[in-house]
Structure 1
Amino acid sequence: MMIIQREQFENYINQYGRLIITICLSFTKNYFDAEDLAQQTFLSAYKNIEKFHGENFKAWLTTIAANKCKDYIKSPVRKVGTLSKEDYECLKDPQNSPEDITMNKYTENDIYNLCNRLKEPYRTVAVNYFFRNIKLSDMARDTGENLKTLRTRLYRAKKLLKVLWKERFL
C-alpha cells in the first residue's frame, strides 16, 4: 500500500468511524463489542484494500461491518450461559478475599493509631465512636456529658483525623 493510500485510509476511518460503530452497535446492542467489531472492520478493510475495485468505499466498508457483526452473533464464543440464583449462591465465597481482609485490617489499624494521636477529649470520643461502636447518646448517658458537647467533639475529631490522614501521604 502506498503512503497516499494510507493517508486516504486514515481519512476514511475519520469519515466513516461513527457510521461503522453505529452499524455494529445496532447488531450487538453493546458499545464495547461494537467498538471491537468496528476496529476489526477497518483492519479487515486495510488488509484487503487491494480487493476493493468499486467506486463506493462507504458501501464496501458497511458490508464488511455487517458481515463481521453477523459472524460475531453466530459465534459460539459469544454465547454466555446464565446462572440461576441457587447456582450463584453455591459459587459465592461467603468470606472476604484475603486482599479485602488485609486492607481492612491495615486501614482499621491506621485509623486507630491516628485516633490515639488525638489529644483529649477528642481521643476518647473518636475511639469510643469508631472502634467500640458506642453511640453518642450512650456516651452522654454513661459519662453525664452534654450530647451537644460530644457531637462537637466528634465533629472536631473527624476534622483532626482528616488532617492526620492527609499528612501520612505527604
Structure 2
Amino acid sequence: MIDSTRNGRFQMLVMPHLNSAFNLACWLTRSRHDAEDLVQEACLRAFRFFDGFHGEDARAWLLTIVRNTFYSWYQERHAQPQNTPFDEEFHSLDMAGAIGMPERDNNPEKLLMRKDCERQLQRGLAALPLEFREVMVLRELEDLSYKQIAGIVGIPIGTVMSRLGRGRKLLATILAPGNQEE
C-alpha cells in the first residue's frame, strides 16, 4: 500500500479512538504515566501491523492491541507489586456525561453529592480484580457490545456476561454501606 494512503487510512480509522485506548490503559495500569507509555507502544504496534487490519471495527482492534500490550507489559513487571495509588483527580470523570445521562442542575448540594457518588464509583472500579475491571470499563465506560468485548479480551460472550454480572455484584458489595472507607 502506498505510504500516504496507508498513513491517511490509519489517521482516519485508528486515531479517533485514542481517547478510548488511553481510558482503557489508565484503568488497566492504574497510572497515567504508564498508560501514556502503553498507548504509545500500542499505537506503534497498530501502525506496524496496520496492513493486516481488514475489519470494520478499528476501535475494537485498537483496544485489543492496547489490552495485549498491557498484558505483555504486566508480565514483564509481574514480580513488582502494583502499588501505584489510584489517581482520583485524573480518573474523576463526569459520569453523567460518560454514560449519556442528561446534565443536572448546578445546585451546589447536588453537585457535591454527585461528585461524592462518582468518587465512590471510581474507588469501587479501582478495587475490582483486573479480569472484572477490564470488562466493566469496556462495557460501562466505553459502551462496547458483548461481542466486541469478547473479541478484545479473547473470551466467549457467555464469559463476558458472567464477568460483567460477577463484577457488578462485587462492585455493589464494595459500594455497600459499611464497606466504604473515608
- Bin of the TM-score, shorter chain as denominator length: 0.3 to 0.5
TM-score, normalized by length of structure 2? 0.40
The structure with higher relative contact order (CA 8 Å, sep 6+) is 2
The structure in which a higher percent of residues are helix is 1
Larger radius of gyration between Structure 1 and Structure 2: 1
TM-score, normalized by length of structure 1? 0.43
